[in-house]
């Protein structure tokens, strides 16, 4: 048998069959065998991590890198270092908030050039659906877009306009032909217009933001997408589910045989509206973080499978845009930066509710890889890329914003105790993160 480049052994390797003692052999960046713990093949190098868990690297399919064009918000270098430190081995970048937005092949190629040689982990790209770019969808797919994202309400970025039903129908018909998913920010403007306008409340109160984006906006948007999914046979993925009532609609759609998947995010699984202080704009996102009972319903949705995956929706912005000094929820940029903390935050909530490492691996690695069509990512199995996270699930740590690798040290997790410390991260067999250090950088590849 050919000699392996590297064998990583652990008493807790998280495989599709469960948590087992195993030796994972890697050659040429690919997993070549997964053997019993005491049956490691010949290798050039051995790494025995003892009782630390070995997880498939996280695949985060909802990341706003913002490069090119808004590198004062984030960028490939800082975002992917944060990813590596958090056990994330592949990110898929959203088509906004970069300049230009990724709605043409030229914009996609420009973004790919910005990432080349600067990314610590592997990366892919979603294209964008905006009014009038239906004819760009097939060329974008051929150029490497893994699927497409749209907004049904204003995105906050003028150059990425929302779509209405008259735009969705032809776009979804084309995407059904291409067999690619449409990712949807599912809020409709009419229920938001019916809600209490934020201008009538104190902008420093979280309740003002919460009441301005009611659950009905999400629910009615999901109803629309279910109807269009049934009509066009386009695969639909609902991003950042925040409302409990949405889960029932998704269950009904699944029972009807529709191809609709859905995600939620660590901040919806961790925080609750009752706990968010006034002026605490680090917590502002859209849709908003809702009440405790909604948080628990979302955990139930993950447990029963109606929610397929967890993605960070990493959406950083400079302190001035977050209005940290004024505490103005109305003016503050809506977005939570949590790429580095996604694994730990999800594991913290999961372990408290009786879930195990295989559940977290399914939500954060296997299901996201399947959504993005990344057939070599998301599992510890023969033939898959050797993307691995060496993880201590039993170690707590306190979140110190200044130690995070993202560009701006702004996080609602500041001062929280989370469980699960990433010790090492491997991308295609190369150690890109090792206990606070980055031994190898710039090796990330475009996956398509």
At 98-144, the pLDDT tens digits run 999 999 999 999 999 999 999 999 999 999 999 999 999 999 999 99
Res. 409: pLDDT tops 70 = yes
Chain-centroid distance of CA 80 in Å reads 13
- Say what the pLDDT of residue 2 is: 78
DSSP class of residue 194?
A: H
pTM, whole model, 2 decimals? Answer: 0.98
For residue 422, give the 3-state DSSP assignment. Answer: strand
Chain segment 58-82, per-residue pLDDT in tens = 999 999 999 999 999 999 999 999 9
Q: Whose CA is closest to 131, among 180, 92, 171?
A: 171
Task: Work out the average pLDDT over 308-321.
Answer: 97
Domains of the chain: 6-48 (no CATH), 57-374 (3.20.20.140)
| d(C-alpha 80, C-alpha 88), whole Å | 8
| d(C-alpha 321, C-alpha 213), whole Å | 20
Task: Work out the average pLDDT over 344-348.
Answer: 99
- Say what the pLDDT of residue 197 is: 78
* Cα atoms found within 13 Å of the Cα of residue 220, Cβ hemisphere only: 16
303-335 per-residue burial string, b: 16 or more CB within 10 A, e: under 16: eeebbbbbbbbbbbbeeebbbbeebbbbebbbb
Chain segment 382-406, per-residue pLDDT in tens = 999 999 999 999 999 999 999 999 9
Q: Whose CA is closest to 123, among 145, 100, 142?
A: 145
Q: Which residues contact 57 (CB under 8 A, 6 or more apart)?
A: 87, 88, 89, 90, 121, 365, 377, 387, 388, 389, 425, 426, 427
Task: Work out the average pLDDT over 307-323.
Answer: 98
Residue 89 phi, psi dihedral angles, 5° rounding: -110, -15
Res. 1: pLDDT tops 90 = no
Beta strand residue intervals within 16-154, DSSP E = 18-27, 30-36, 46-48, 53-56, 58-63, 88-93, 122-125, 127-128, 148-151
User: Are the C-beta atoms of residues 89 and 60 closer than 8 Å to each other?
Assistant: no
Tokens 């859905």 belong to 262
Chain segment 157-213, per-residue pLDDT in tens = 999 999 999 999 999 999 999 999 999 999 999 999 999 777 788 999 999 999 999
What mean pLDDT, rounded, does the chain reach?
98
Radius of gyration of the chain (CA): 21
Chain segment 215-245, per-residue pLDDT in tens = 999 999 999 999 999 999 999 999 999 999 9
| d(C-alpha 386, C-alpha 29), whole Å | 6
Residue 405 phi, psi dihedral angles, 5° rounding: -90, -10
């Amino acid at each position: 048998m050919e000699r392996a480049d590297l064998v990583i052994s652990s008493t807790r390797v998280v495989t599709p069959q469960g948590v087992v003692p195993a030796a994972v052999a890697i050659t040429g960046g690919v997993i070549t065998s997964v053997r019993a713990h005491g049956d490691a093949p010949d290798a050039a190098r051995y790494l025995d991590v003892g009782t630390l868990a070995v997880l498939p690297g996280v695949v985060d399919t909802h990341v706003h890198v913002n490069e090119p064009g808004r590198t004062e918000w984030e960028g490939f270098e800082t975002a992917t270092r944060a990813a590596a430190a958090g056990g994330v081995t592949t990110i898929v970048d959203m088509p906004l908030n970069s300049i230009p937005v990724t709605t043409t092949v030229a914009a996609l190629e420009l973004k790919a050039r910005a990432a080349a040689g600067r990314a610590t982990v592997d990366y892919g790209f979603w294209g964008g659906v905006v009014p009038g770019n239906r004819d760009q969808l097939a060329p974008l797919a051929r150029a490497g877009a893994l699927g497409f994202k749209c907004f049904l309400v204003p995105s906050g970025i003028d150059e990425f306009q929302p779509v209405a039903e008259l735009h969705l129908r032809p776009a979804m018909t084309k995407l059904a032909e291409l067999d690619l998913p449409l990712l949807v920010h599912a809020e409709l403007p009419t229920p938001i217009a019916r809600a209490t306008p934020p201008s009538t409340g104190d902008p420093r109160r979280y309740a003002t933001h919460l009441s301005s984006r009611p659950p009905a906006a999400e629910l009615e948007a999901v109803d629309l997408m279910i109807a269009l999914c049934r009509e066009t046979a386009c695969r639909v993925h609902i991003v950042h589910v925040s409302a409990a009532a949405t889960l029932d609609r998704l269950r009904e759609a699944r029972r009807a045989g529709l191809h609709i998947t859905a995600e939620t995010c660590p901040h919806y699984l961790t925080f609750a509206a009752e706990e968010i202080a006034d002026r605490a704009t680090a917590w502002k996102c859209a849709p908003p973080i809702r009440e405790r009972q909604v948080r628990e319903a979302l955990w139930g949705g993950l447990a029963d499978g109606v929610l397929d995956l967890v993605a960070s929706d990493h959406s950083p912005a400079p302190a001035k845009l977050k209005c940290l000094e004024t505490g103005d929820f109305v003016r503050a940029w809506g977005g939570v930066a949590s790429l580095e903390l996604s694994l730990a935050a999800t594991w913290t909530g999961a372990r408290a509710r009786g879930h195990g490492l295989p559940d977290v691996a399914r939500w954060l690695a296997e299901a996201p890889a399947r959504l993005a069509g990344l057939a070599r990512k998301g599992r510890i199995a023969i033939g898959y890329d050797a993307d691995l996270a060496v993880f201590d699930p039993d170690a707590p740590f306190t979140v110190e914003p200044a130690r995070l690798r993202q560009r701006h040290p702004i996080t609602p997790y500041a001062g929280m105790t989370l469980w699960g410390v990433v010790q090492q991260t491997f991308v295609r067999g190369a150690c890109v993160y090792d206990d606070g250090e980055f031994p190898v950088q710039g090796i990330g590849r475009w996956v398509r």
